[in-house]
Each structure stands twice: as C-alpha cells, then as structure tokens.
Amino acid sequence: MAETLHVATGTKEEKYRTLLPQILQLIDGEPDLIANLANITAALKETFGFFWVGFYLVKEGELVLSPFQGPIACTRIRKGRGVCGTAWQQAVTLVVPDVDAFPGHIACSSASRSEIVVPLIDDNRQVWGVLDIDSDLLNDFDDTDRWYLETLCSYIKPQTTCEL
Ligand code: SME
C-alpha cells in the first residue's frame, strides 16, 4: 500500500482522475469495511479540503454516523429525513447547491452551505449507506462530483474485498 497520497493540481476532474486509482489501491485486498471507509474519507479530505466528508451506514433502520473527517456531526438520521435520509429513501444522488433551500436539511454545522450525498447500493439494489460531503461554499458540487463520487461508491462493497 502506498503511504502517501498524490494530490493532482489543476481541475476538479484531474484531481478525481488521480485520486480514484489510488483509492482502489488503498482498499484492494483489505476486507475490513471501516478501515476502508476511514481511508477513503481521509483521501477525499486531503485531495479537496472539503469541510466535512463522511459515511453514514444503515443499521437497524437508521443511518448511523461512521468514519468521517471534519467537525463532530449528528449520529443518527431517519429514513426520509434531511439530505442523507432522502438520498437513502430515493436511492439517488442528491446535489444540493444551497442547503438552506433544502426542506428538512439537518444542519450539523452552520458553516455548511452546499452538499452532495451519494447512496451506497448493493447488488440487490438496496441502499446500505451513504457518502455525505459538505462544503462551506455555496454551489460547490456539480455533475463532475456526481459522476466520480458515484464511480467511487460503486467500488465500495459492504464486506467483500474490492476487485481491481
Ligand atoms: N446535512 C445532512 C446531515 C449530515 S451532516 O451534514 C454531516 C443532512 O441533511 O442529511
């Protein structure tokens, strides 16, 4: 496993293109889900400097806070609540340019201004968690983030080793 992360300079797309193969290498051969989610959040934070990046995992009918980087956050989110609970319920990625304009947004921090939430979907089309990224800038996420983060999330399996 590489010990240092190479962060590309340049566009958002160049950063994702440099980051994703490194994440695949990081998680390849490691079956422990929490270890992999922890490294993925660290790699995303180091590459983009996002205000908050982390995972919530479905446990006993709720989303429960899991590995993250950033300020402390709410620990449990019910289905259909906030951006995370809505992305879970609808099984779709949500890009929210202005969190104050999203009905029911859960404000873990007043500094959060925009957000993207990508569901983790298993082979039976069931959502088993979400990746949540918050920015302190308005309108910070677009289709480039959606595409690369959905690709990244497709690599993450609930328990099994990632296959390159
Ligand atoms: N804002 C999220 C809650 C999680 S925090 O942002 C870390 C939401 O509305 O679901």
Domains identified in the chain and CATH numbers: 12-155 (3.30.450.40)
Q: Is the CB of 82 inside a 6 Å radius of any atom of ligand 1?
A: yes
| Residues 112, 52: Cα–Cα separation, whole Å | 8
Is pLDDT of 124 > 80?
yes
Residue 21 has pLDDT above 80, yes or no: yes
3-state secondary structure 84-153: HHHHHHHCCCEEECCHHHCCCCCCCCCCCCEEEEEEEECCCCCEEEEEEEEECCCCCCCHHHHHHHHHHH
pLDDT at residue 5 is higher than 50: yes
Distance CA 37, CA 71 (A): 17
162 within ligand 1 shell (Cβ under 6 A): no
- Whether 45 is in the pocket of ligand 1, judged by its Cβ within 6 Å, is no
Residue-wise pLDDT tens digits, 32-70: 999 999 999 999 999 999 999 999 999 999 999 999 999
pTM of the entire structure?
0.94
